[in-house]
Amino acid sequence: ANPLTTRYPLSHGRAVALMLPHVIRLNGQVVDDLYGELCADIQLNGSALALAEHLEELCAMAGLPRRLADCQVAASDLPAMAQEAAGQWTGTFNPLPLQEADFLRLYEIAF
C-alpha cells in the first residue's frame, strides 16, 4: 500500500482496503488455516478466499475503489511500485516471502 500512497492521492486506509483482499488470497497459500480462524470469528464459512471476498463486499458497500485503475493509477507505474514495495521493511514479515516479481503480480491483479 505504501507505494500507492507516495505516488497517488490515496489515503493509507484506502490503499490497504484495495490491496488487502489480493494479499490475503496470496498468503492463503501458506496460512489458509489462520484465515479460517478469522472467518470463524466473524461467523463466515471458509478461509482465505471467503475472507478476501467478504472484504471486497465490505469495500464495495462503503463505496471504496476496488481496482487500481479506479484510482487513476497508471499501469506504467506498476513495475516501479513493485520495486519500491520489495525494498520496504514491512514486507519482510509477510507469511509468504515476497520478491519484486510477486509485488508486481499483486499490483497487476489489482489493476
Q: Whole domain around residue 41: which residue ranges?
A: 2-110
What CATH number corresponds to the domain at position 78?
A: 1.20.1090.10
Higher pLDDT, 92 or 100: 100
> pLDDT tens digits for 46-93?
999 999 999 999 999 999 999 999 999 999 999 999 999 999 998 889
Q: What is the pLDDT of residues 14-29, one digit of tens each?
A: 999 999 999 999 999 9
Burial of 12-41, coded b for 16+ CB within 10 Å and e otherwise, reads: eebbebbbbbbbbbbbbeebeeebbeebee
The pLDDT assigned to 92 comes to 86
The model's pTM is 0.93
Split into its structural domains, the chain has a count of: 1
